[in-house]
Structure 1
Amino acid sequence: MNIYLYEPRDARHRGLADELARADIVAVPADARFLDRPPETLRVACPEGAAFLLADTPETLDYIRNLRRAELHGPILVMRDLRNARATADSLDAGADDDVVLPIKAVEMRSRINSILRRAGGHAAESTTVGEVTVYFDGRNPDVCGVAVHLSRREHAILRHLALNATRVVSKQVLYDAVYGLSEDQPFDKVIDVYICKIRKKLSAAAASGHVYIETVHRRGYKLTAPQPVQATAAE
């Protein structure tokens, strides 16, 4: 998981980045100049669904409003040193999804972000089931016909993103951004196809139906689909 981190205090930024790394969260620096870009520039610069972790500063409310004006709908979390009910209410009213008091452990931060993403996708529970496959949003491997199927970290990120959008087609670019969008080490452009192929094989091999579960929608992307029920034929 990647997250934009705004923390102008260098020592605090390094400490937060190290803590987030413990939960496999990559902290990408976002300074004031980045967050103050015109909305149309921010919209292009940030991957769809990008998450933001913002330190409480006098400018933070303006940054939140600017991100929302840019039509960036990913999670925005504000972190503050001391509890302040009025300031928390202001950040939530400005468009933040959560407001936390430091210190906070990375595992809790990851769960808070996942919770926001689940609700945004219309999922209240910790998992969703599509046909024989149960996908967990907390990092556990999926179950297929009651048996856990091991996925790599990136395979899991792709499947989770498809599951969060199970009723919609997800473009290859969105999946790419979900896995690599904020990383400086970006691989070749066919890597998502490779991961999709691997996930399909694992799910199909474990499924009693043999269904591949990830449908390719020509020129649009991919969609997580359940097997179609077998239609009974009328007796002649």
Structure 2
Amino acid sequence: MKFLLVEDNPDLAKAVCDRMHLDGHTIDHAENISDAIGFSETGDYDLILLDIMLPDGDGRSFLKRHRDQKRDTPVIVLTARSQVSDRISMLDLGADDYVTKPFDHEELQARCRAVLRRKAGTAQSVLQIKDVSFNPVAGVVTVCGKTINLRNRELRLLELLFNAPGQIFPKQKLVDRLFSYEEDVSENAVEVYIARLRKHLEGSALKITTHRGLGYRLDHD
């Protein structure tokens, strides 16, 4: 998954980014509303983590703008405000959930998973296509009844393809989803991960097909 963190506290931002990276997620970090707008309007994110008190204004203005533009990316608000009225106002503006500071990182991760499941319209943790099952939360993949070990980016690439079988993903879109803006990578990196996934899926009903000039698609027999 690719997240956008909008947070001006450098220590907290680093802690959140480090934890998300450990879980295999890609995360971009904006320190203010202006940068957050730039990221959100040019990037493709699965989830936004939004602080409220920012150097150039109130994060609720970003949230309102985000929803006014009909963007449906889930937003979890990170707030030090504990008043019920504050939480209600953020939910009414379009926040999907909120976490009160200081928070436990395990709770934040659990809330991220819950919001993403709701966005996908399912409460199940294990996805199944033919003879391949995938638990994105636990990072467990089973091919023909055998559990295989995937690296973090291999897992995230499989998750993208698994959630949209039959859809063609251009290389650049996969680069945008798998890597942050700070990482200088080429489209060749995607080819490497595609090759690794194909090897892991050998013998199963799933195939990653190449559509020249267009991208890659997950198909099954």
For the 8 Å contact 1:74–1:117, the answer to whether it is kept is no
Please state how far the C-alpha of 1:99 moved relative to its aligned partner: 1.0
3-state SS, counterpart of residue 120 of structure 1: helix
Which of 25, 29, 48 is equivalent to 2:44?
Answer: 48
For the 8 Å contact 2:198–2:208, the answer to whether it is kept is yes
Change (3 A) 1:17 1:192: same
The alignment yields a C-alpha RMSD, in angstroms, of 2.6
TM-score by length of 2: 0.82
Instruction: Identify, as 1 or 2, the structure richer in strand.
Output: 2
Cα distance in 1, alignment partners of residues 164 and 97 from structure 2: 22
Matched to 1:223, the amino acid is R
Cα distance in 2, alignment partners of residues 201 and 87 from structure 1: 50
Cα distance in 2, alignment partners of residues 224 and 107 from structure 1: 32
Residue 31 in 1 paired to residue 32 in 2? yes
Worse overlay, 216-225 or 59-68: 216-225
| Matching residue of 1:234 | none
Q: Deviations over 1:26-81 (max 9, x none)?
A: 451331222456xxx852x2x21253211223722210122234454323110112
Change (3 A) 1:124 1:77: same
Identity across the alignment (%): 23
| Matching residue of 1:175 | 174
Residue 135 in 1 paired to residue 131 in 2? no
Please state how far the C-alpha of 1:176 moved relative to its aligned partner: 1.4
1:92-131 equivalences in 2 (<5 Å)? 92-131=91-130
3-state SS, counterpart of residue 22 of structure 1: helix
For the 8 Å contact 2:130–2:206, the answer to whether it is kept is no
Cα distance in 2, alignment partners of residues 64 and 224 from structure 1: 34
Q: Which runs of 5 or more residues in structure 1 are unaligned?
A: 228-236
For the 8 Å contact 2:80–2:101, the answer to whether it is kept is yes
Cα distance in 2, alignment partners of residues 130 and 19 from structure 1: 32
For the 8 Å contact 1:52–1:76, the answer to whether it is kept is yes
Q: Based on CA coordinates, which of the two structures has the bigger radius of gyration?
A: 1
Q: Deviations over 1:124-170 (max 9, x none)?
A: 21121011111112142311122211111111110011122236333
Cα distance in 2, alignment partners of residues 66 and 35 from structure 1: 11
Matched to 1:214, the amino acid is I
